[in-house]
Chain A
Amino acid sequence: MTTIRVVPAVLYRSARLVPWWHLVLGLVAAVALAATRRTDYVDDVVFGLRVGAVALAVSLAFVLDDPALSVTDGKPVPLWLPRLARLALVLPVPAAGWWLLMDWMEAEMQSTPETAATTVPRVALTIELAAFVGIVLGFAALVVRSGREAGGLVAAVALLGAVVALLMLPERWRVFASPASPPLPGEAPSPIWEVWVDAHRRWAAIAAAGWVALAVGVRGPARGRLARWAAATSGRIRRAAP
């Protein structure tokens, strides 16, 4: 009950601490990068949106950083609450920006008669965005959980590294598939469509792993022997177990 009562205050404090300008710059970068591929060719559009999605995800890397953690250690709320409050405040911004970006890209693609009926594969690309965000927030949360005050840079680098690694996956595990049209009713799915669907099953698995890591990471500091050792050896702040 106490926890619920402090939610408005936590939201207010979190809103002031969130690095909003990161999000704004991230959105600008996403739009600028996607715009380089704003054509009527669906492969180009998907590429541009993927690059934009990475930019949006990177802009979220610093959301869980809390330089004041050591001095606000004694506040009477569980650690996960302010972190969740930040996420609740922040995530709608890139989500809305993402949807508008897809609208904008689709409008250009549909501007020529030949591609007037072509649409952006919104659900599939949103799963990819969820995977990117899951990776970056999952890493950030795990780093913060280990006792660091700031894990944003590590998370951003981890995301970029993960993107490179995913790009280099062998053909049979490919995740960056080319967009394909779904089969018409009664028709057998084409091989390209099957590759696309398989790739997004993998994306969904990556997203799930990332968001699970986030859920684990926001709970608070790690208490295991390994975490204690890591915190002690790296000189990070240490929190007493409640």
Chain B
Amino acid sequence: MTTTMAEPVAAHRVPSRATPVWAALARRELRFTLRHPLLLAGLVASAWVLWSMNPDQVPHLGGFSTYVGLGLAPLAGGVLLVGHLAASRAQRHQTLEIESTAPAVQRARTLGRLVGTTAGAVLAAAALTVAYMAYLYLRGGAGTPDVGELLVGPVVAGLATAAGVAAGTWLPNRFIGLLALGVLAGVQIWLQDAPGTRHWFAWWHTVLWHPNPDLWIRPTWGHLGYLAGVLAAVGAVTMLRHGLRPVPVVLLAAGLVTTAAAGAVQARPPRDAAVDELFVHVEEPERFWVTIEQGSVTYRVHPGYERWVDKWDPVIQRTLAPIPVAQRPALVVEERHHPYLSQLEEEFGYGSAAADALGARSEALDWAIGLFGSGRLDRWPIRVNATTYLAELEPLAVSVAHRAAGLPLAPVSMEGRPFTDEEIAAITAPFVEEGLGDGGLQPAPPKATPGEAPGSSPQPGDRHQLTLACSADGQAREVVAAWLAARASDGLADSYRRIRAGGPGAADAGYGGDAVYEYAPDAGPAVRGVSWASLGWLRANPYGADTSTAAVLGSPTATDLAAQLLDRPQGEVAASIAENWNVWTDATTPIDAIVDEFDLEPAPTPEQWLARGGLDPAEFAESLAAYPLDLFEHDLLGDQPYPTCR
């Protein structure tokens, strides 16, 4: 007879005596929570939301850190219900009597649920946050993640779970969890757009559209303290269900004090030192830049943005490739931080002492940066916004081509002469803004005193005889520049071809903005006009963005001829242009020379442009007469032609 010993039955793991009951229960609840379908669904939904936010933007890790609070909202909603279901489990399953026979007091069970579910929610949220940052980094993200902003998401998820447990502990009904979710959502909806500093009392504060997050002043840590205080108070309220015991009472008091104190901190105006630091960043970026030399190009970038050079450099090198090495310009590309100074007022309250203190200083700088940042007065390096969009690679190609072809970079006066440094300084003084207007073009100004430079002594409300662009229409170098840019950028090449084929129709389809518009002059009926500039090679990029070379008008002629050049054998075109580079980029070389050399069709007349767009020239008589100006510009300037680029 053979006796076989049975394998010992695996015993359930029994917690050691040293482990408190609540901790053992918390571990079990943690496992339940992490496997709960609602948590998993919340994770998927949150990942989807995070993935969908600005997917076409090159991520800035600091700025995108503020998305985590909003992005984790579906997860927070899910775990709130998980917490509520955990707390009301015995009630729902009608197992209260069975549960009461377990060797643990109710208080320990509640604490276990509270800690376990909250920890599960925080862990899941933290994991998703880390994964999100890793994904952004792999997508080319630059800058530094803001740890304080990142923590908001997990803390809100923990807070929501604790609220769910509290609701389920006090009112174990299925509907109460949903009601608690409604209350938390209501607080967010109510406060997120509240004026002054009240919006900081919402659970999170996301800024989706921003020029540069590095220059924000946000009371992130104060806000985290506020959230932590609320979380502690909610946890204490949960435990108070089992009587007024010292620990929950103390925790509640501490939570309320923390909430109040941190709430006051987050609503406080920014410190002067923080504002000063911000202004230093904007006014003296050279103190922070790292310099990287690559061939004939010098990059100046802030620390953390070095990897973006690898994004910019191929575009620049492709643009410069056809140019003989000796003829290539020495380029400087600066990565600028644009401040969001008006954001300061939004964050800290309009009309507040803080806003007043920022006052003229921020307005002046904001305006000046706005003007320089748009490139209208850019005479020096190529400037790239720190929150560079993928689409901005096309303007970058245009900027490089513009410089390589020797087109003017400085704005010119109506007499066609470049402004002096003093005039530039005067023009960019803030009080001239009213005089410049939107387009920078103004009607005939008061006559300057003989010998006095126009614009040298601006007064508030002055109107200056100023144009910011010259016209290179008819010069071969403009076509060369447009071709150089388009061969380096598929998007740009595509838009030039579309413009050539469809004229204003293509521009209306997203290339260069709305080319056909309604114009209502001060006197007379409204008429339809064509924005000729939107057909021009400088604005005919997929986003219609101004480039940093807008000292030149950018003619539709160059767009058309560049599109034709792109359809010729590129090797032959490049060789021919390189061979006679100096000729093609000479301001006196006419456009006919390039038409003859490459056997191109003559550029269309304004009437032919309209026909390409399927428009009736008879309906656009005013716009045809104004070519190449827009109608509002023509009303301001009359028949004065743009000065010719020299």
Interface residue ranges, A against B (CB under 8 Å) = 19, 22, 25, 29, 32-33, 36-37, 51, 55, 58-59, 61-62, 150, 152-153, 156-157, 160-161, 164-165, 168
For the complex, what is the distance from the CA of A160 to the CA of B48, rounded to whole Å?
Answer: 15
Q: Would A62 and B175 count as touching, CB distance under 8 A? A: yes
For the complex, what is the distance from the CA of A29 to the CA of B179, rounded to whole Å?
Answer: 8
Query: Which residue in chain A gives the minimum CB-CB distance to B77?
Result: A160
Q: Would B48 and A168 count as touching, CB distance under 8 A? A: yes
15 contacts across the A-B interface (CB closer than 8 A): A19-B175, A29-B182, A29-B186, A33-B185, A37-B189, A51-B185, A55-B182, A58-B178, A58-B182, A152-B174, A153-B81, A157-B41, A160-B77, A160-B181, A168-B48
The 7 A-B pairs at the shortest CB distance, nearest first, are namely A36-B190, A29-B182, A33-B186, A22-B175, A36-B189, A164-B45, A156-B178
Within 8 Å CB of B183, what residues of A? 29
Within 8 Å CB of B81, what residues of A? 153, 157
Q: Given known contacts A29-B183, A153-B81, A157-B41, what 5 new A-B pairs fall within 8 Å (CB)?
A: A32-B186, A33-B182, A51-B189, A168-B49, A168-B52
Q: Would B45 and A161 count as touching, CB distance under 8 A? A: yes
Q: Would B186 and A62 count as touching, CB distance under 8 A? A: no
For the complex, what is the distance from the CA of A237 to the CA of B406, rounded to whole Å?
Answer: 83
Q: Would A157 and B38 count as touching, CB distance under 8 A? A: yes
Kindly state whether residue B74 has any CB partner on chain A within 8 Å.
yes
Q: Give the interface centre of A62, A152, A161 by most chain B CB atoms within 10 Å.
A: A161
Q: Which B190-219 residues have a C-beta within 8 angstroms of A? A: 190
Q: Would A62 and B174 count as touching, CB distance under 8 A? A: yes
Within 8 Å CB of A150, what residues of B? 174
Q: Would B182 and A164 count as touching, CB distance under 8 A? A: no
Where chain A touches its partner, the secondary structure class is helix
Query: Which residue in chain B gives the minimum CB-CB distance to A21?
Result: B175
Query: Which residue in chain A gives the minimum CB-CB distance to B190?
Result: A36
Contact of B179 among A25, A36, A153, A168 (CB under 8 A): A25
Contact of B175 among A25, A36, A161, A165 (CB under 8 A): A25
Within 8 Å CB of A32, what residues of B? 186
Contact of B49 among A55, A156, A157, A164 (CB under 8 A): A164
Query: Which residue in chain A gives the minimum CB-CB distance to B94?
Result: A67
Q: Give the interface centre of B48, B52, B74 by most chain A CB atoms within 10 Å.
A: B74
For the complex, what is the distance from the CA of A152 to the CA of B185, rounded to whole Å?
Answer: 20
Within 8 Å CB of B189, what residues of A? 33, 36-37, 51
Minimum C-beta distance from B174 to chain A (A): 5
Minimum C-beta distance from B253 to chain A (A): 28
Minimum C-beta distance from B179 to chain A (A): 6
Q: Which B155-182 residues have a C-beta within 8 angstroms of A? A: 174-175, 177-179, 181-182
Query: Which residue in chain B gives the minimum CB-CB distance to A47?
Result: B189
Within 8 Å CB of A36, what residues of B? 186, 189-190
Within 8 Å CB of B38, what residues of A? 157
Within 8 Å CB of B185, what residues of A? 33, 51
For the complex, what is the distance from the CA of A19 to the CA of B186, rounded to whole Å?
Answer: 23
For the complex, what is the distance from the CA of A25 to the CA of B167, rounded to whole Å?
Answer: 15
Q: Would A164 and B74 count as touching, CB distance under 8 A? A: yes
Minimum C-beta distance from B131 to chain A (A): 18
Q: Give the interface centre of B45, B52, B182, B190 by most chain A CB atoms within 10 Å.
A: B182
For the complex, what is the distance from the CA of A153 to the CA of B92, rounded to whole Å?
Answer: 12
Within 8 Å CB of A62, what residues of B? 174-175
Contact of B41 among A25, A58, A161 (CB under 8 A): A161
Within 8 Å CB of A59, what residues of B? 175
Query: Which residue in chain A gives the minimum CB-CB distance to B45?
Result: A164
For the complex, what is the distance from the CA of A100 to the CA of B186, rounded to whole Å?
Answer: 20
Within 8 Å CB of B179, what residues of A? 25, 29
Minimum C-beta distance from B550 to chain A (A): 29
Minimum C-beta distance from B82 to chain A (A): 11
Provide the B77-91 mask, 1 if CB < 8 A to any CB of A, else 0. Answer: 100010001000000
Minimum C-beta distance from A240 to chain B (A): 25
Minimum C-beta distance from B181 to chain A (A): 8
Within 8 Å CB of A55, what residues of B? 182
Within 8 Å CB of B48, what residues of A? 168
Within 8 Å CB of A161, what residues of B? 41, 45, 74
Minimum C-beta distance from A222 to chain B (A): 21
Within 8 Å CB of B77, what residues of A? 160
Query: Which residue in chain B gives the minimum CB-CB distance to A19?
Result: B175
For the complex, what is the distance from the CA of A161 to the CA of B38, rounded to whole Å?
Answer: 10
For the complex, what is the distance from the CA of A62 to the CA of B177, rounded to whole Å?
Answer: 13
Minimum C-beta distance from A85 to chain B (A): 21
Query: Which residue in chain A gives the minimum CB-CB distance to B187?
Result: A36
Minimum C-beta distance from B55 to chain A (A): 11
For the complex, what is the distance from the CA of A61 to the CA of B183, rounded to whole Å?
Answer: 17
Minimum C-beta distance from A164 to chain B (A): 5
Within 8 Å CB of B41, what residues of A? 157, 161
Within 8 Å CB of A164, what residues of B? 45, 49, 74
For the complex, what is the distance from the CA of A113 to the CA of B356, rounded to whole Å?
Answer: 31
Query: Which residue in chain B gives the minimum CB-CB distance to A150?
Result: B174
Within 8 Å CB of B178, what residues of A? 58, 61, 153, 156
For the complex, what is the distance from the CA of A58 to the CA of B178, rounded to whole Å?
Answer: 8
Minimum C-beta distance from A105 to chain B (A): 14
Q: Would A153 and B182 count as touching, CB distance under 8 A? A: no
Contact of A153 among B49, B74, B174, B190 (CB under 8 A): B174
Minimum C-beta distance from B1 to chain A (A): 43
For the complex, what is the distance from the CA of A159 to the CA of B524, rounded to whole Å?
Answer: 54
For the complex, what is the distance from the CA of A32 to the CA of B189, rounded to whole Å?
Answer: 11
Minimum C-beta distance from A68 to chain B (A): 13
For the complex, what is the distance from the CA of A207 to the CA of B454, rounded to whole Å?
Answer: 66
Within 8 Å CB of B175, what residues of A? 19, 22, 25, 59, 62, 152
Query: Which residue in chain A gives the minimum CB-CB distance to B194?
Result: A36
For the complex, what is the distance from the CA of A22 to the CA of B171, rounded to whole Å?
Answer: 13
For the complex, what is the distance from the CA of A19 to the CA of B41, rounded to whole Å?
Answer: 28
Provide the B60-81 mask, 1 if CB < 8 A to any CB of A, else 0. Answer: 0000000000000010010001
Within 8 Å CB of B74, what residues of A? 161, 164
For the complex, what is the distance from the CA of A156 to the CA of B178, rounded to whole Å?
Answer: 8
For the complex, what is the distance from the CA of A19 to the CA of B77, rounded to whole Å?
Answer: 23
For the complex, what is the distance from the CA of A22 to the CA of B174, rounded to whole Å?
Answer: 10
Query: Which residue in chain B gives the minimum CB-CB distance to A61?
Result: B178
For the complex, what is the distance from the CA of A165 to the CA of B52, rounded to whole Å?
Answer: 11
Minimum C-beta distance from B640 to chain A (A): 36
For the complex, what is the distance from the CA of A165 to the CA of B183, rounded to whole Å?
Answer: 21
Q: Which B531-589 residues have a C-beta within 8 angstroms of A? A: none
For the complex, what is the distance from the CA of A178 to the CA of B74, rounded to whole Å?
Answer: 23
For the complex, what is the distance from the CA of A170 to the CA of B446, rounded to whole Å?
Answer: 53
For the complex, what is the distance from the CA of A157 to the CA of B182, rounded to whole Å?
Answer: 12
Q: Which B352-404 residues have a C-beta within 8 angstroms of A? A: none
Within 8 Å CB of A165, what residues of B? 45
Query: Which residue in chain B gives the minimum CB-CB distance to A152?
Result: B174
For the complex, what is the distance from the CA of A161 to the CA of B41, rounded to whole Å?
Answer: 9
For the complex, what is the distance from the CA of A226 to the CA of B473, rounded to whole Å?
Answer: 73
Q: Give the interface centre of A19, A59, A61, A164 by most chain B CB atoms within 10 Å.
A: A164
Within 8 Å CB of A61, what residues of B? 178
Within 8 Å CB of A168, what residues of B? 48-49, 52
Query: Which residue in chain A gives the minimum CB-CB distance to B188?
Result: A36
Minimum C-beta distance from B160 to chain A (A): 13
Query: Which residue in chain A gives the minimum CB-CB distance to B78?
Result: A157
Minimum C-beta distance from A128 to chain B (A): 17
Provide the B28-64 mask, 1 if CB < 8 A to any CB of A, else 0. Answer: 0000000000100100010011001000000000000
